Structure 1
Amino acid sequence: MKAIKTNKRYKLVIEAIQNYIIENNLEAGDRLPTENELAEKLQVGRSSVREAVKSLEVLGVIETKAGEGMFVRTFNFLPILENLPYSMMFDRDDLSEVLEIRITLELANLKKVIENIDDEHLKKIELVVEKMKMARKTNDIVAFVEADERFHELLFEPVDNELLKKLLGIFWTLLENAKDFSKLADPNLPAGYKKHRAIYQALAERDHDKLYDLMERHYEASKKHIAANQLKVGV
């Protein structure tokens, strides 16, 4: 390890620790140098090392065990995803690209949904559609958006893939932090309810082609709505 000479020490300490893991071919469970040893090798203060260690723990790269030391952790993508919505609020100007990712993921997993869904789960989705119906009658946009989110959450629950669920959840997190949130819901609630009712019926019939077509058209409308309102991410 080379000595670090910069004002942004903790960021370079992070990079140095990552390089150390790679260069020494360390694997999950292997022990890392102590904070004191790292501070001495890199010629930085312990506070910089401590800050870097905390960041790497959040990212799921290392773990600290009380009384034992620091160890390389089995890679887990979920901690990165949990912090992604926060960082994206500052790095993105709009939701369009995020929506494109969501569309690709959801359409690609519709077959798995149909293969795994049972009647009990279909009933849960039907109840959410009924909530949309009530929100439509009272013109409650917030309640409709909440039901919309729950609809899509339940739709992909039968797919046993936590990473997929996290990725899909990012869209809603960004949506809820968008400026002019009230504009995100299409004001035409009757049409929105009708679309989701049709999607539910295609799912109940286990008709993949029909379901795919309805979902694709639903997203095309969402893309146009977001583009038209120039919705921005951020507070």
Structure 2
Amino acid sequence: MEFEKLTFSNKISTEIVSTIKNKLLDGTLKNGDKLPTEAEMVEQLGVSRTPVREAIKVLESIGVIQIKRGEGMFITNNPSHFSLNPLIFSLIMHSNNTQKLVEFRQHFEILMVNIIRAKWSKEKIERIEEVYKSQVKRLKPELSPEELAAIDLEFHYAVLEATENDFVIEIGRTIYELYKPKMIVAKQSTNIQQTLQTHKAYLDLLLQKDVVVSDKQIDKMIEYNQVWLESESDSNSKL
């Protein structure tokens, strides 16, 4: 398997992801196929090592690429996975636009809240509340950014599952997988309380099943996530 040299019109790592996407969609690459090594991709694509690594991280994070120690990189061999889903790849293509990703995620989460409230049950809310209570105990300043992000996402996955809607769950999982690398970069022990306050606000919305979520509330949530991701990412890049 060889790649052609790229001509750049977008971010280089996005171009690399797009190249692999196109080869999957046209059948040139198939589930289980072995990819060139990182060094081979650098040479074949005519790019530096950094964007190749960025593209690999994105594809690995959503399960398109599987890295086997001592063997190399492979397209996932799970036929039910994301690799042949054009919607998933379309979302990947736009995942570098933090503002749009944050905006979409926030409106999507309000959709989830409304679906759960439309089919409200005490049992659903109690399951989500249990996850929240667990987070209160487990989110500690000494945890790594990866651990903080993983525990944070447990709450959002619990809300996602409570919708009991396969379409929502599939798209939601993809959104969070795209969001997770940005969360890891931004996660700091100093924003644990803000994370818990945000989750408590979601719980309150679910408990108040007859209260309409206002545009002002949505805008506030979007603004918080936007500022948090960008400010923490900027501060980390200066370290």
Give the TM-score of the pair, scaled to structure 2.
0.52
Q: For residue 82 of structure 1, report the CA deviation from its aligned partner.
A: 4.3
SS in 2 for 1:208: coil
SS in 2 for 1:157: helix
**Match among 175, 180, 185 for residue 176 of structure 1:** 180
Distance 1:229 1:219 in 2: 15
**Match among 77, 84, 87 for residue 81 of structure 1:** 87
Tell me: CA distance 1:111–1:166, structure 2 relative to 1, closer, same or farther (3 Å).
same
Unaligned runs of 5+ in 2: 5-23, 32-83, 235-239
Distance 1:185 1:219 in 2: 19
Give the corresponding residue for 2:152. Answer: 148
Query: Per-residue CA shift, 1:114-133, capped at 9, x if unaligned?
Result: 01132112121111111221
Q: Is the 8 A contact 2:141 2:192 kept in 1?
A: no
Tell me: CA distance 1:197–1:106, structure 2 relative to 1, closer, same or farther (3 Å).
closer
Q: Is the 8 A contact 1:128 1:150 kept in 2?
A: yes
Moved more, 93-102 or 204-213: 204-213
Q: Name the aligned partner's letter for residue 197 of structure 2.
A: K
Distance 1:214 1:132 in 2: 23
Q: Is the 8 A contact 2:149 2:180 kept in 1?
A: no
RMSD, aligned CA: 4.1
Give the corresponding residue for 1:37. Answer: none
The reply to whether residue 158 of structure 1 matches residue 165 of structure 2 is no
Q: Is the 8 A contact 2:128 2:155 kept in 1?
A: yes
Query: Per-residue CA shift, 1:170-201, capped at 9, x if unaligned?
Result: 232223334x8242457321232122123213
SS in 2 for 1:166: helix
Q: How does 1:65-214 map to 2 (within 5 A)?
A: 79-84=85-90, 87-88=92-93, 93-140=96-143, 141-178=145-182, 181-184=184-187, 187-209=190-212
Tell me: CA distance 1:211–1:185, structure 2 relative to 1, closer, same or farther (3 Å).
farther
Q: How does 1:6-45 map to 2 (within 5 A)?
A: none
Q: For residue 216 of structure 1, report the CA deviation from its aligned partner.
A: 4.7
Q: For residue 105 of structure 1, report the CA deviation from its aligned partner.
A: 2.1
Give the corresponding residue for 1:225. Answer: 228
Pairs aligned (count): 165
Query: Per-residue CA shift, 1:53-99, capped at 9, x if unaligned?
Result: 46699xxxxxxxxxxxxxxxxxxxx82234456x53xx654422222
Q: For residue 221 of structure 1, report the CA deviation from its aligned partner.
A: 0.6
Distance 2:218 2:120 in 1: 17
Q: Name the aligned partner's letter for residue 181 of structure 2.
A: N
Give the TM-score of the pair, scaled to structure 1.
0.53
Distance 2:135 2:229 in 1: 20
Distance 1:184 1:96 in 2: 17
Q: Name the aligned partner's letter for residue 79 of structure 1.
A: N
Give the corresponding residue for 1:73. Answer: none
Higher CA-based Rg:
1
